Amino acid sequence: MLKKTLTSLVFIACATSNAQSPHENIIVNGSFAQGTQGWRLEPEIEVSVPPSPDPDVFANAPASLLMRAQEAPKDGYIHSRNARQCIPIGDARKLQFSGNFLYPDELPASNYGHRANLIWHYQSDCSGSAQFGTYLEPEIKNGWQALLIDDLSPALNAQAVEVEITQDQQLSRKDFGVLESAYYWLLEKLGVFGDDTLARGYWDNLNLQITQLEEPEHPSNQFDGAPSVPTNTNLLRNGSFDTGLEHWKHYHSEWSTDEGYNSEGAIRITLTSDDGSMGTGVFEQCVNIGYKRQFKMGVSFKADEHSNQTGGGRMRVSWYEEENCQGRHSTDGRHVDPQKIAGWQPLSVPLLEAAPNSRSVSVDAIQTIDGKGEFSAYWDDMYFMAIE
């Protein structure tokens, strides 16, 4: 049994020294009653008393985390102010994340700048590589609001989670119309706002709790009875798209009969954008890998020269702990992207190491478009093979 119900968890938590107890808040000082203790704060963030503490929720801890970032230049770099905390997650299998948020001033017309992110880390001190998990995002409304995400699964092999309270320094005025922009320009000129026109926000009662623990004795790297898979054979079905798109999950796609790399028949993906660049997963296939640990992969890519916008792509994989791409997963950092050149280009990753404890892999193609318009590309001869 990999999964245990909550009723049987308490004993396990007590008996395992490094396990966290279920239903306790594993965030240190998530109520900010102890000031900044446990948190790393960047400038323009402070712990202070909000103008309207909720008497029910905040009776014992009137202090909250105030995000009051200044607007940053629109120079193409990512700008944000963050408060962070790294928390080892032990044997956590499922978690619940919640918090309260307040806009203390006039509501912004549009503001997607405030978020509370969860980022999974493979090192217990949150160094090294990471995988983005999920986030809480406040609605634009008056008064304290409660935000919650239930049933979270850590990334496969994650050792810690980083709680990152963030305010984007460019997004807050993103969708303002001309009249609104003029209004704020006037207020600034009159000194009403100073230069602090990004919507401030208070966070409080940040709570991350484990709702399900993994059985500590769960054997890792045990593959007794796992089926073998052949080496140097394409484990993807219909990788050459010779007869259609069967065996693939696909989006924004059509089968092309008159294009192809080694043989005619390819998948053609068309992305359109009304505003700005974007990227999305376009086709994928799940492969059970048995006990094999080393793989190689590749695909051929050709941009359609009739597109009125440029774009690109990426081939990458995510490893899953159970067969058929079920359970927790971990996205591999090794990937390959096509160059912006004409004609077919074969792409390959010569060595991929399966994530520890993984039993299946999702082989994914992602396509991007660089701005407003339409970008089409052909993909063909995708392979994923076990190496001896």
Site membership for Ca ion, residue 380 (CB under 5 A): yes
CA dihedral of residues 85, 91, 93, 94 (deg, nearest 10): -50
Nearer to Ca ion, 117 or 376 (CB): 376
By CB neighbour count within 10 A (0-12 exposed, 13-18 middle, 19+ buried), where does 143 fall?
A: exposed
Size of site (CB under 5 A) for Ca ion: 6
> Least distance to Ca ion from the beta carbon of 268, Å?
11
| 103 or 379: CB nearest Ca ion | 379
Residue type present at position 226: A
**Residues forming beta bridges with residue 377, ordered by sequence position:** 269, 303
Distances (CA, A) of 52 to 32, 155, 231, 281, 287: 16, 37, 64, 43, 54
CB of 381 to Ca ion, least distance (A): 6
> Using CA atoms in the order 243, 248, 253, 257, what is the torsion angle rounded to 10 degrees?
-10
* Subset of residues 201 to 240 that bind Ca ion, contact rule: CB under 5 A: 240
Q: Minimum distance from CB of 270 to Ca ion (Å)?
A: 18
Residue 66 near residue 194 (C-beta atoms within 8 A) = no
Distance CA(323)–CA(226), nearest Å, equals 10
Q: Which is nearer to Ca ion, 91 or 381 (CB)?
A: 381
Q: Which is nearer to Ca ion, 30 or 265 (CB)?
A: 265
Decide: 324 and 151 in contact? Cβ < 8 Å.
no
Between 263 and 280, CB nearer to Ca ion: 263
Least distance CB 267 / Ca ion (angstroms): 9
Please report the sign of the dihedral spanned by the C-alpha atoms of residue 107, residue 110, residue 114, residue 116. positive
Task: Examine residue 243 and tell whether it contacts Ca ion (CB under 5 A).
Answer: no
- Would you state the structure tokens that stand for residue 35, as one six-digit string? 């000031």
Among 32, 60, 59, smallest CA distance to 48 is for 32
Does an H or E element contain 303, and which?
strand 294-303
What's the closest the beta carbon of residue 297 comes to Ca ion, in angstroms? 17
Q: How far is the CB of 369 from Ca ion (least distance, A)?
A: 24
Applying CB under 5 A, the span of 1-9, 82-90, 308-316, 378-386 interacting with Ca ion comes to 378-386
CB of 315 to Ca ion, least distance (A): 16
Cβ proximity to Ca ion: between 214 and 380 the closer is 380
- 277 Cβ neighbours under 8 A, 6+ residues apart: 368, 369, 370, 371
* Shortest distance (Å) from residue 239 CB to Ca ion: 9
Residue among 201 and 260 whose Cβ is closer to Ca ion: 260
Whichever of 199 and 267 has its CB closer to Ca ion, that residue is 267
Kindly identify the residues of this chain, within the stretch 246-265, that bind Ca ion according to CB under 5 A.
260, 263, 265
Backbone angles phi and psi of 61, in degrees to 5 = -145, 80
CB-closest chain residue to Ca ion: 260
- Sheet of strand 345-353: strand arrangement: 253-256, 266-273, 373-386, 294-303, 345-353
Q: For residues 34 and 263, which CB has a smaller minimum distance to Ca ion in the complex?
A: 263
Alpha-carbon Rg of the chain, whole angstroms? Answer: 25
Please state the closest distance from residue 236 (CB atom) to Ca ion, in A: 12
Q: What is the DSSP letter of 29?
A: T
Q: Is 332 in the site for Ca ion (CB under 5 A)?
A: no
Q: How far is the CB of 299 from Ca ion (least distance, A)?
A: 11
Nearer to Ca ion by C-beta: 70 or 257?
257
Q: How far apart are CA 202 and CA 144, in angstroms?
A: 9
Q: Which residues bind Ca ion (CB under 5 A)?
A: 240-241, 260, 263, 265, 380
